[in-house]
Structure 1
């Protein structure tokens, strides 16, 4: 798949990534609210295929790392990372193939959802538990799947040729 060149029409992929990311953010936040409503004080974990529904709260980041750090530090750091992902997505969307843009939207949507969730009460709501992996949420799945998709797209696309060097690379 050949990337497009950035033009005035290149803003369409940018807005598409943003719209998809915001849609994924809204979906995750809605499911977190539903999980809190249905699983708080309930009869216990409910089996959902290979996953258990189990309500937990993560004060840290991935795998509860940094759980003892002040909340404002974690919010600030994750906010900076989310802003960096957003800037990267905005800058590269016009030349990124569709699959890569989907990956960018997943990463940005998941990061934004977890940032908003943490900003509300200092913790991230997790509700999916496999029994062998730490409890996670849909935003976490968006981030991981998006990163994998972006890496696979980047590996398939290869490195761009340097400008003006379309002939022999050794000259």
Structure 2
């Protein structure tokens, strides 16, 4: 030992902020997923005897073994589960990697997509199909998780177009 005082390394505030942002985005995704899973559980009991008419949006129980628009409905269940699991993992990795520097709306969009994807994955894991309950009459029956995924995707597209542009140099 040299007798020189050693300086303690300061905690990395950026690392703490990154962790808090990741946690906040994961918690938001969990809230989105929980909302859909709770409504799916309710719909399976409340809509078993028939639909509830609500005007432009009815509540009607349906099951979808495929993905959007029943694509892949005839594929083996394990393939659908593997594909949706892979997509969900990719979204989770994107959220994790971009959380430290992402704008707040970007994080909300990714959390909505991840929450919706997780809810549908959890629902599909039980019996190989996703529970749908929102019916318009002119569009395939869907669920809240699908809405989260679509709105999150649209928000990401909108934010991509609105990317920060360098300002012209002032003279």
Alignment TM class, shorter chain as reference: 0.7 to 0.9
Task: Report the equivalent of 2:87.
Answer: 81
Give the structure 2 partner of residue 100 of structure 1: 106
1:26 counterpart = 2:39 = no
> Displacement, 1:158?
4.1
Counterpart in 2 of 1:142? 148
- Partners of 2:119 and 2:158 in 1: how far apart? 24
* Distance across 2 between alignment mates of 1:104 and 1:33: 24
Query: How much does 1:154 deviate?
Result: 2.2
RMSD of equivalent CA atoms: 1.8
Quote the Cα distance in structure 2 between the aligned partners of 1:142 and 1:50: 19
Higher mean C-alpha deviation, range 108-117 or range 8-17 = 8-17
Bigger Rg, which one: 2
Alignment equivalent of 1:55, drawn from 57, 61, 64: 61
Stretches of 4+ moved more than 3 A in 1?
A: none
Which consecutive unaligned segments of at least 5 residues does structure 1 have?
Answer: 1-5, 162-167
Unaligned runs of 5+ residues in structure 2 are 1-12
Q: Give the match's secondary structure for 1:46.
A: coil
Deviations 1:55-88 (A, max 9, x none): 0000001100101100000000100000000000
Q: Give distance in 2, aligned partners of 1:19 and 1:150.
A: 19
- Map of 1:164 onto structure 2: none
Aligned residues: 155
CA distance in 1, matches of 2:30, 2:83: 20
Pick from 7, 11, 14: which aligns with 2:19?
A: 11
- Pick from 101, 113, 116: which aligns with 2:119? 113
CA distance in 2 between partners of 1:142 and 1:11 (Å): 24
The match for 1:39 among 47, 57, 70 is 47
Give 1:133's match in structure 2, choosing from 126, 133, 139: 139
> TM-score with structure 1 length normalisation?
0.86
Q: Deviations over 1:6-54 (max 9, x none)?
A: 92112211111100001111111010000000011x1x32122420111
Q: CA deviation at 1:92?
A: 0.5
- Alpha-carbon contact 1:18-1:105 (below 8 Å) kept: yes
Distance 2:103 2:109 in 1: 10
